[in-house]
Structure 1
Amino acid sequence: MRGRKWIVTAAAGVLICLFWSFLSQLGTGGTLNRLESQLQDRVTQQSDAERAPNANIKLIKIDQASLDGLGQFPWDRSLYAQLIGMLADAGAKAIALDVVLAEPGKDPESDAMMAETMKKYKNVLLPVVFNFKAKQDRAGALETESVEYPADTIGAGPNQIGHINVMQDDDSVVRKLTVGLQDGAGAMIPAFSVKLANELLDASHQIAWNAAKNGWYRGDKRLPVDDRNQIATQFYTEPREAMSADTGYDSQSFIDVLTGSVPADYYQGDVVLIGPYAPGLQDEYLTPLSTTLKMYGVEIHANMVQSLVAGKFFTEAGSSVNYGLILLLTVLSLLVFGRVTGFKAFIVFAALAAAYVLTWVELYQLKSFFIMFTYPFLAMTTAFVWSVVQHYVTERQERGRVTNIFGRFVPRTVVDELLASGEEVKVGGQRRDISVVFVDIRGFTPMSEKLEPEQVIQVLNEYLDICTKAVFKYGGTLDKFIGDGVMAIFGAPISQPNHPELAVLAALEMKRQSADLEERCLREIGLPVRFGVGINSGAAVVGNIGSQMLRLDYTAIGDTVNLAARLESNAKPGQILISEETKNRLTGSFATAFVGDIKVKGKEKPVSVTEVLGHEETSSTRRLEDFKGGEGA
């Protein structure tokens, strides 16, 4: 039985592991994957003190005020050339224009002016845009359909470009920076933010693609990018957050800088990002810091620049680690909950869940490392639920098994009461008013001498079967077999107001049913096998008596029991003797005969004894069922 249980548990564990492992690899578009991302978003959020912006990163906004003052988009490129020249001459460290200039402008002179600016100032950065295939050939790939470089008329050099692709997760939230993308010729184009971060990093921490090692490095430390060359970064500002004493990037309006309202030398030594900052320009994305208000692309680039400069990014565990976690938590849960049941199981589950949550958070806080949370946690939860269900089913099966086994010795009512109580079986009892029946075979010893042992057992079993069925028929409790004798109780553990009648009826039933057995024994071995029965009613202590740790018997003790045993020892073959107390309680129509006062062991005075001859069936006699008023059968 135990081996089968472990086989079933092991099979359940395998199915749980396979199920959650399979779901975890179906893709990133499911609800659980989104939940995983949202949980990470909550943990990665920082306080205002932690979100202090890098003072050398500044924004120039193409906002509504600039559009109102300079006209609708797109602008003449001479405006960009003019502003870039002002900033470069004032000592800006790097200037990044987050505006796509992939096609020649309408005014060749404006393009020429822009080209002259690019040639003169090498610290100017223009965007490259990658267009990806609508349907990728393989999952997780970033296969390019086309690449949009700055127009040839502008003349941007290879060191003056960076891609501005902002990649959204399946829930349309931007969480990762694509550090670099390969163009059709195999050249690696760094991100805008990588190029700008290098302007703020010293030589030993420069970020670059190492083709020999096939990886991105920040100095001598490999960046933990995924298969798409993406890395999760921190966000330091809320969407459209104005600069304050604590956070928010310094941002000024394009027109204010162009017209001199904000002097160009204000940007000396800074990295400057120029980009759209108005709703109609369609450069807005959701970020982990807000699920409703979108962040402009130029803000996202600024946050990614700071994250790269600070080295603040986290990594996620690979598939093998996550599979291992699912397996570990499933096995651990099945082992633990296989041994812990009831309310304790819920406490242990809560403790395991809390420990896993704490481990998950601490790994990020200490190591900037995320293990998968949802699928291992759900695997653990599934194992817990499975164990609870298994315990329930096992308990029901055990209940049925105990009921069947115990039901061979006592009526179903006794078993049901013990199981329904929900309490441990303990030593002790209670005072109850009961009737006790003792039955014994007369002539058993001579019969045993004449028969083979197997024949003796067969006769004895038939006799005991008759007694047991008679006791159970009238709702009694079969207390014990005493050699060739039987002790039965009526009135406990289920109260039966008419237990004296039930005890007498059971004795008469034994007498009737034993007629065939008596005749067969007389015919086959020449000796009759007849019953002697003694019945007494009164108070007794009924309960579990014996050793708490080793063996308990449900029985009755007291003078009432002793007198019933003495009456049985004085009964002749086929005789049913009852005490005066039992006789006085009988309300049914029984044929009786007074035997007289007899001296019994343990009693100073003789006791009055009556023999029950039969049950008189009359029109006033209650039906048999009426005698069973207290029985649950």
Structure 2
Amino acid sequence: MYTGVFNGIDRMILDYKFRYLQQEDPNDKIVLVSIDEKSLSYFNRNGMYWPWPREFYQIVTDYFRDSGAELVIYDILFDTPDFDRRNISGRMSDQRFLQSLDKTNNAILAFKSTANEDSAVDLSMNNEPLIEDFDIENDPPYTQPHILTSKPLDKFSEAATALGNTVMSPDEDGLIRSVHLFDSLAHKGYVPTLAMSAYLELQPDSVSLAWTNDGLRIGEQEIPLQDNGDYLINWYKKGGVQNGTFPYYSFQAIVKSAIQQLRNPDTEVEVPVPHSAFQDKIVILGASAAGLGDIKSTPMSSFEAFPGMEIQATLLNNLISENHVTELPLWMSIFILLLITGAIPYTIAYLRPAKGAITMVAILAVIIAAGLSLFAFNRIWFSTGFYLIIGTITYSGSAAHKYFAEEKQKKEIRSAFGQYVQPEFVEQLIAQPDLLQLGGQKKRLTVLFSDIAGFTTISEQKEPEELVSFLNEYLGAMTDIIFEHSGTVDKYIGDAVMAFWGAPIGQANHAELACRSTLKMMKKVNELAPQDTNIHSRFGIATGDMIVGNIGSYNRFNYTVLGDKVNLAARLEAANKKFGSSTMIAEQTYEDVKDQFYCRQLDLLVVKGKTKPVRVYELMADKSDPEAKQTEKIISIYQKGLEYYLSKNWDEAIEQFNQVLSLKPEDGPSQTYIERCHEFKKDPPPKDWDGVFHLKTK
């Protein structure tokens, strides 16, 4: 899918395609039970006000079970205990609903999460054992974790067949067009959206899941995803009660039917909604009353309001019927792009203006007709707006395409790289513009990640203007130091800095430059830190082969580095927190700089997402620094303590680490190992313990 300036046009065109090139429901499998205005009014007249007692849900759950429903999905959050009402005990009401869930054994309940924007949020609250997570092969197209904001009561979660996430994020214009089928819940694994949870319940227990280049594979089905990992919902026709895609039944009508049958169990009684309405069906129960706040805006909202449960129903129907919106194959997209960018300039160059204009209009008309036909009959979508705009721009701008091209290229290079590398590097890039071609090359580099520990605290203490001023001063100082040591600033992420050495201009001593830069940055942070704060920086450094170059799309890319070592450096920066250290470097970096710097081994570490351990070290001081002489003694004592620790001589190890603390009272790694030794004395490790420490978090 295309982004940026084309999004608005593409979305508008796609919305119109859904509205006027509608499809029928291919399954007739899903029915909706609605908590609607009629239900609220009915129970209000009988003295029952919202929220209703849980025994109401017990009544309809039993009715669905007796009807032979295949699945019952609750798009409602049962996250708080019921409360006492006149003549109704909240505890007993909960208990009745719980008993129905146990008997039904086919109910799916909803929970809710939200994307975690703040890396400092404590995620321990989200390690929810009752929420099943799924192990999906390969790397996902998105990585942002979610935090749990609401979940069913534990007893309901245990009784439910499965749980599903109700989170749905609208686009910038407020319309819901796509969803994540899975989200990462606080780094504990992937949890499905409500519809996906239902779909998985319909699959064999042994079904496999894997992220692929094209999307998500579940068993034999390949589910297409957009580039950002979202699933584009395939809408059928207008929603709602009257002539909508799915049959709707009012909640109060189900309650009436159930009560009538309970009163007359031995006779055939005509009820508002018979059992046959739900036999072998998937039932989704949710709210459609406007006052309950579950009305969503979708591309079909101009016809009829869409409750959240109908979006889940549409998504589930897509999955069951394998009725997906797909994109053109890559070769077809390339062909269309070549047709536009090749044929239109040709018509301008070699045909008269009138014939050239007719040819251009004809080409664009064919593209529009093809887009409509493919979508109407096969639900194949391609970015018509993108091609229309590209065609127009190509036609109007091709005559002056090379005007001031070289000067413009130089300006773009200065603009793109002037903030990130030294001026002499910029001039070299201007002399070698081929370095700016989209793509990358494999090189041995050193990459650094840094972050301010305690930044959340200072954020809370300072006014926004003061915070921005401090952040600008801090980032400016860090950038100056990186430039001073011939580094390249990759990006800023809030208070974090990513930089690398060895590209775009090669440097044989890139690891040494990175370490010298880091030591100076550490000192500078101490100078900049406001008084009465415990602010300091943490650094992670890794050296090795990585991909460096302009990574992105043809209309937007960044000069950056990618690869395993980049991810490792990021993990090491965060891992400092576990050890109380400031700078953690990988083994390859250590081998390159051990003659110039004092370093000590921290651990044999398995970082999050990996299985092989890596030996990591703390960068402590420059050997040429006369003030760092005592560091050698500290490292010698510490190393003995580490050897005792690895040989399981806990008391001897503690003694050595305490000696380090007598020389360096705030030494975090020594304190860490003392704590581990005490823990192992109480609970010894297994006989085959190899000293490897597994880092559970990123």
Specify whether residues 324 and 148 from structure 1 end up closer, same or farther in structure 2 by C-alpha distance, changes over 3 A only.
farther
Q: How much has 1:161 moved relative to structure 2?
A: 0.8
Secondary structure, counterpart of 2:217 in structure 1: strand
Return the match for 2:16 from 34, 42, 45.
Answer: 42
2:291 aligns with: 280
Q: How much has 1:89 moved relative to structure 2?
A: 2.2
Secondary structure, counterpart of 1:290 in structure 2: coil
2:58 aligns with: 81
Secondary structure, counterpart of 1:384 in structure 2: helix
In the alignment, is the contact (CA less than 8 A) between 2:110 and 2:163 conserved in 1? yes
Q: How much has 1:263 moved relative to structure 2?
A: 3.1
Specify whether residues 372 and 318 from structure 1 end up closer, same or farther in structure 2 by C-alpha distance, changes over 3 A only.
farther
Secondary structure, counterpart of 2:305 in structure 1: strand
2:37 aligns with: 64
Tell me the distance in 1 between the aligned counterparts of 2:334 and 2:79. Answer: 45
Partner amino acid, structure 2, of 1:251: Y
2:28 aligns with: 55
Q: How much has 1:235 moved relative to structure 2?
A: 1.8
1:298 aligns with: 309
Q: How much has 1:129 moved relative to structure 2?
A: 0.8
1:525 aligns with: none
Query: Is 1:250 matched with 2:227?
Result: no
In the alignment, is the contact (CA less than 8 A) between 1:103 and 1:151 conserved in 2? yes
Specify whether residues 151 and 324 from structure 1 end up closer, same or farther in structure 2 by C-alpha distance, changes over 3 A only.
farther
Secondary structure, counterpart of 1:272 in structure 2: strand
> What RMSD over aligned residues (CA atoms) do the two structures have, in Å?
3.6
Query: Is 1:196 matched with 2:173?
Result: no
2:280 aligns with: 269
Specify whether residues 212 and 117 from structure 1 end up closer, same or farther in structure 2 by C-alpha distance, changes over 3 A only.
farther
Return the match for 2:368 from 357, 360, 369.
Answer: 357
Residue by residue over 1:538-560, the C-alpha shift from the partner in whole angstroms, topping out at 9 and shown as x without a partner, is xxxxxxxxxxxxxxxxxxxxxxx
Structure 1, unaligned runs of 5 or more: 1-20, 392-633
Residue by residue over 1:483-509, the C-alpha shift from the partner in whole angstroms, topping out at 9 and shown as x without a partner, is xxxxxxxxxxxxxxxxxxxxxxxxxxx
In the alignment, is the contact (CA less than 8 A) between 1:178 and 1:228 conserved in 2? no
2:640 aligns with: none
Q: How much has 1:253 moved relative to structure 2?
A: 1.1
Specify whether residues 215 and 112 from structure 1 end up closer, same or farther in structure 2 by C-alpha distance, changes over 3 A only.
farther
Q: How much has 1:293 moved relative to structure 2?
A: 4.4
Bigger mean CA deviation after superposition, 36-45 or 83-92 = 36-45
Specify whether residues 266 and 376 from structure 1 end up closer, same or farther in structure 2 by C-alpha distance, changes over 3 A only.
closer
Query: Is 1:94 matched with 2:91?
Result: no
Alignment of 1:433-582 (within 5 A): none
State the aligned residue count.
Answer: 359
Tell me the distance in 2 between the aligned counterparts of 1:331 and 1:213. Answer: 29
2:112 aligns with: 129
Specify whether residues 134 and 365 from structure 1 end up closer, same or farther in structure 2 by C-alpha distance, changes over 3 A only.
same
Residue by residue over 1:271-319, the C-alpha shift from the partner in whole angstroms, topping out at 9 and shown as x without a partner, is 1111101110111112222347431112212222222222111134699
Tell me the distance in 2 between the aligned counterparts of 1:334 and 1:87. Answer: 64
Q: How much has 1:211 moved relative to structure 2?
A: 7.1
Partner amino acid, structure 2, of 1:67: L
Partner amino acid, structure 2, of 1:209: L
Secondary structure, counterpart of 2:41 in structure 1: helix
Specify whether residues 170 and 141 from structure 1 end up closer, same or farther in structure 2 by C-alpha distance, changes over 3 A only.
farther
In the alignment, is the contact (CA less than 8 A) between 2:288 and 2:307 conserved in 1? yes
Q: How much has 1:320 moved relative to structure 2?
A: 10
Tell me the distance in 2 between the aligned counterparts of 1:241 and 1:45. Answer: 17
Tell me the distance in 1 between the aligned counterparts of 2:369 and 2:50. Answer: 51
Partner amino acid, structure 2, of 1:280: G
Tell me the distance in 2 between the aligned counterparts of 1:177 and 1:208. Answer: 21
2:93 aligns with: 110
Tell me the distance in 2 between the aligned counterparts of 1:218 and 1:241. Answer: 32
Residue by residue over 1:199-242, the C-alpha shift from the partner in whole angstroms, topping out at 9 and shown as x without a partner, is 6x6769x9863379996324413211235542112222413241
Tell me the distance in 1 between the aligned counterparts of 2:393 and 2:81. Answer: 60
1:512 aligns with: none
Bigger mean CA deviation after superposition, 77-86 or 372-381 = 372-381
Specify whether residues 92 and 390 from structure 1 end up closer, same or farther in structure 2 by C-alpha distance, changes over 3 A only.
closer
In the alignment, is the contact (CA less than 8 A) between 1:136 and 1:142 conserved in 2? no
Secondary structure, counterpart of 1:338 in structure 2: helix
Partner amino acid, structure 1, of 2:191: I
Secondary structure, counterpart of 2:156 in structure 1: coil
Secondary structure, counterpart of 1:156 in structure 2: helix
Specify whether residues 207 and 369 from structure 1 end up closer, same or farther in structure 2 by C-alpha distance, changes over 3 A only.
farther
Aligned identity (percent) is: 19
Partner amino acid, structure 2, of 1:296: P
Tell me the distance in 2 between the aligned counterparts of 1:295 and 1:101. Answer: 22
Specify whether residues 275 and 361 from structure 1 end up closer, same or farther in structure 2 by C-alpha distance, changes over 3 A only.
same
In the alignment, is the contact (CA less than 8 A) between 1:53 and 1:236 conserved in 2? no
Secondary structure, counterpart of 1:268 in structure 2: coil
In the alignment, is the contact (CA less than 8 A) between 1:101 and 1:151 conserved in 2? yes
Secondary structure, counterpart of 1:196 in structure 2: helix
Q: How much has 1:254 moved relative to structure 2?
A: 0.6
Alignment of 1:268-417 (within 5 A): 268-291=279-302, 293-316=304-327, 326=337, 329-365=340-376, 368-387=379-398
1:182 aligns with: 184
Tell me the distance in 2 between the aligned counterparts of 1:215 and 1:389. Answer: 41
2:164 aligns with: 162
Residue by residue over 1:416-471, the C-alpha shift from the partner in whole angstroms, topping out at 9 and shown as x without a partner, is xxxxxxxxxxxxxxxxxxxxxxxxxxxxxxxxxxxxxxxxxxxxxxxxxxxxxxxx
Secondary structure, counterpart of 1:289 in structure 2: coil
Partner amino acid, structure 2, of 1:38: M
Tell me the distance in 1 between the aligned counterparts of 2:160 and 2:188. Answer: 14
Secondary structure, counterpart of 2:13 in structure 1: helix
In the alignment, is the contact (CA less than 8 A) between 2:145 and 2:186 conserved in 1? no
2:222 aligns with: 222
Q: How much has 1:333 moved relative to structure 2?
A: 1.9
In the alignment, is the contact (CA less than 8 A) between 2:147 and 2:185 conserved in 1? no
Alignment of 1:131-150 (within 5 A): 131-133=114-116, 142-150=144-152
In the alignment, is the contact (CA less than 8 A) between 1:194 and 1:207 conserved in 2? no
Tell me the distance in 1 between the aligned counterparts of 2:348 and 2:327. Answer: 30
Q: How much has 1:251 moved relative to structure 2?
A: 1.2
Residue by residue over 1:141-192, the C-alpha shift from the partner in whole angstroms, topping out at 9 and shown as x without a partner, is 6431334221114243574211122232222112224222222253322222
Secondary structure, counterpart of 1:331 in structure 2: helix
In the alignment, is the contact (CA less than 8 A) between 1:334 and 1:387 conserved in 2? yes
In the alignment, is the contact (CA less than 8 A) between 1:127 and 1:162 conserved in 2? yes
Q: How much has 1:101 moved relative to structure 2?
A: 1.2
Tell me the distance in 2 between the aligned counterparts of 1:104 and 1:213. Answer: 44
Query: Is 1:232 matched with 2:243?
Result: no
Q: How much has 1:265 moved relative to structure 2?
A: 4.6
Tell me the distance in 1 between the aligned counterparts of 2:299 and 2:207. Answer: 25
Secondary structure, counterpart of 1:165 in structure 2: coil
In the alignment, is the contact (CA less than 8 A) between 1:180 and 1:229 conserved in 2? no
Alignment of 1:605-624 (within 5 A): none
1:120 aligns with: 103
Tell me the distance in 2 between the aligned counterparts of 1:304 and 1:76. Answer: 30
Q: How much has 1:88 moved relative to structure 2?
A: 0.9
In the alignment, is the contact (CA less than 8 A) between 1:322 and 1:372 conserved in 2? no
Tell me the distance in 2 between the aligned counterparts of 1:290 and 1:374. Answer: 22
Tell me the distance in 1 between the aligned counterparts of 2:69 and 2:335. Answer: 50
Specify whether residues 56 and 123 from structure 1 end up closer, same or farther in structure 2 by C-alpha distance, changes over 3 A only.
same
Query: Is 1:33 matched with 2:7?
Result: yes
Secondary structure, counterpart of 2:314 in structure 1: helix
Structure 2, unaligned runs of 5 or more: 84-89, 121-140, 258-271, 403-698
Q: How much has 1:80 moved relative to structure 2?
A: 0.8
Tell me the distance in 2 between the aligned counterparts of 1:278 and 1:293. Answer: 13
Specify whether residues 358 and 213 from structure 1 end up closer, same or farther in structure 2 by C-alpha distance, changes over 3 A only.
closer
Q: How much has 1:365 moved relative to structure 2?
A: 4.8
